[in-house]
Each structure stands twice: as C-alpha cells, then as structure tokens.
C-alpha cells in the first residue's frame, strides 16, 4: 500500500486517539526533556513529524522545531493545532528531503525508522540526518527491539496489546527482517482494521548505518528516562554524534 494511502485521511483522523498512550504526560515530558537537553539553544528537526505529538511540546519548551512529513493528511492535523504556526513542515520523504538551515538535533521517534522498508532507505535516512546536522549535533532514534526471543520455533505472531477496544499483533518474517503490525479496534460503533509493514534492524545494524553516514554512537538507553539498555530491553533510544 502506498504511504499516501496508508497514512492518509482515514488514519490521520483517528491517529491521536488510537495512540493515546503515547500522548500521556509522562511519555511526552520524558521525550521532550531528553531532546531539549540535547538541543540546548540549537534548532531541532523532526523526521516524520506526524501530528506534532513531540514537535509541539518541544517548540513550547523554547526549541525552534522544523519537520519533514510525507503524509499531507497527517501534516494537516498538525497544522490545525495551537502553536503549529511556529513549526514549518516540509512535505517529503525523510530519507531524501532536504530543508534549509542546519540543526543541533535531528530526531525520529516511535519506531518510525522502520517505516523505511529497505536497508538502503534506512541508510539514506541516516545520511540525510547527518547532512542536516551541525558539527557536534546529534541524531536520535527511538525504536523497538525485535521480539524474536518471544517467538516459539515455527511461530510468526506476537501479541503486543490485548485490551478492551484494541487487539495488536506483530507478524514476523525473520528471513527478511520484516514485521507486519495488525490492529483491530472496536467500541463506540467502530469496527476498524489497520495493517502496517516495518523493516526492523538490531541496534548494531543501526550503529553501522550511522558509521556509513559519518556519525558516531554517543549513547544508548532503553527509554527516554535513560534507563540502562540491557538484553531484556524492548526498545532503545540511541544517539549518534556528527564529529
């Protein structure tokens, strides 16, 4: 399915509600604290800015934020929110689209690096981030660690959410490093399904992508609170620096 259809008006209209747990204050505050600390007085660029979940509160913190977003429908939702006039958004692919100026931080949150479905595209994304960074600037990626340890031999499916109004299941193709997320929402007259495909990578592979882009790993954590990254971590927040 083309990105413009996958992330079109139907998904954009319910995105904030469907991802309500990602809009909780404790999630937003930890993310913004981390990014604002990295940015300091330098501007920040968000790849796949979406509906502004992070860009808006980061801007409200005093950081100058710009965004790149491939979906006009998602960008329209952002544009309708208070404070959006301070965030210039360029419509385009985060792997190749360039914007003017340079930045102290480029960041990519909530697993969005995996929306690029080939290793080549993901390497291009790292190179694009590096091209936008000042010397000493940081590229930050938040993404999941593949849950392959939870797969019994011969199985493909791992449930990640079973709640009153939502069932979410990841389907793994371990040969091709692809995970397909299946969602089913019910309740309040709604009966909706959604499926998205993701190309996952291990943290070490992202480190190699960064090296190809001229970036060096500075730090890696399990989350925005800087919890240690361990063998049991289900996600990571990684920071690479442009030297």
* pLDDT tens digits along 172-184: 999 999 999 999 9
Per the CB < 8 A criterion, the answer to whether 141 and 215 are in contact is: no
User: Which whole number is the average pLDDT over 101-125?
Assistant: 97
pLDDT at 2: 39
pLDDT at 109: 98
State how beta strands 235-242 and 215-221 pair.
antiparallel
Query: Which residues have a Cβ under 8 Å from the Cβ of 104 and sit 6 or more positions away?
Result: 38, 39, 40, 41, 42, 43, 44, 133, 134, 136, 137, 138
Q: Give the tokens for residue 200.
A: 């996952």
Query: Which residues have a Cβ under 8 Å from the Cβ of 120 and sit 6 or more positions away?
Result: none
**Both 110 and 189 in a single domain?**
no
- Residue 49 structural domain: 3-145+201-242
User: Which whole number is the average pLDDT over 69-74?
Assistant: 96
For the chain, the domain total comes to 2
**Both 78 and 170 in a single domain?**
no
**Both 37 and 105 in a single domain?**
yes
Q: Would you place residue 82 in the very low, low, confident or very high pLDDT band (cuts 50, 70, 90)?
A: very high
pLDDT at 5: 53
**Both 79 and 17 in a single domain?**
yes
Q: What is the distance between the alpha carbons of residues 243 and 241, in angstroms, rounded to a whole number? A: 6
**Both 89 and 189 in a single domain?**
no
**Both 94 and 153 in a single domain?**
no
**Both 183 and 141 in a single domain?**
no
Q: Give the tokens for residue 211.
A: 């090296």
Q: Which uninterrupted H or E stretch holds 237? A: strand 235-242
- CATH code of the domain covering residue 138: 3.40.50.150
Strand partners, 70: none
**Both 90 and 129 in a single domain?**
yes
**Both 31 and 80 in a single domain?**
yes
* Of 224, 229, 173, residue with least CA distance to 206: 229
Q: What is the distance between the alpha carbons of residues 121 and 195, in angstroms, rounded to a whole number? A: 21
**Both 19 and 53 in a single domain?**
yes
**Both 152 and 140 in a single domain?**
no
User: Which whole number is the average pLDDT over 134-140?
Assistant: 97
**Both 127 and 152 in a single domain?**
no
* pTM of the model as a whole: 0.92
Share of the chain above pLDDT 70, in %: 98
State how beta strands 44-47 and 215-221 pair.
unpaired
């Amino acid at each position: 399915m083309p990105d413009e259809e996958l992330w079109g008006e139907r998904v954009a209209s319910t995105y904030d509600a469907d991802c309500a747990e990602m809009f909780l204050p404790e999630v937003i505050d930890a993310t913004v604290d981390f990014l604002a600390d990295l940015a300091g007085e330098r501007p920040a660029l968000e790849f796949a800015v979406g509906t502004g979940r992070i860009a808006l509160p980061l801007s409200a913190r005093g950081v100058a934020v710009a965004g790149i977003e491939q979906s006009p429908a998602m960008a329209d939702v952002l544009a309708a929110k208070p404070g959006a006039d301070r965030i210039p958004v360029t419509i385009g692919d985060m792997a190749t689209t360039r914007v003017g100026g340079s930045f102290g931080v480029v960041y990519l949150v909530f697993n969005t690096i995996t929306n690029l479905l080939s290793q080549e595209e993901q390497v291009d994304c790292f190179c694009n981030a590096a091209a936008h960074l000042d010397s000493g600037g940081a590229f930050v990626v938040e993404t999941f660690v593949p849950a392959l340890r939870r797969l019994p031999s011969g199985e493909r499916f791992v449930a990640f959410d079973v709640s009153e109004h939502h069932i979410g299941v990841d389907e793994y193709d371990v040969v091709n490093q692809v995970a397909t997320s299946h969602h089913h929402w019910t309740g309040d007259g709604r009966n909706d399904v959604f499926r998205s495909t993701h190309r996952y990578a291990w943290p070490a592979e992202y480190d190699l992508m960064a090296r190809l882009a001229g970036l060096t790993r500075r730090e890696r954590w399990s989350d925005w609170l800087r919890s240690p990254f361990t063998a049991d971590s289900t996600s990571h927040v990684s920071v690479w620096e442009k030297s």
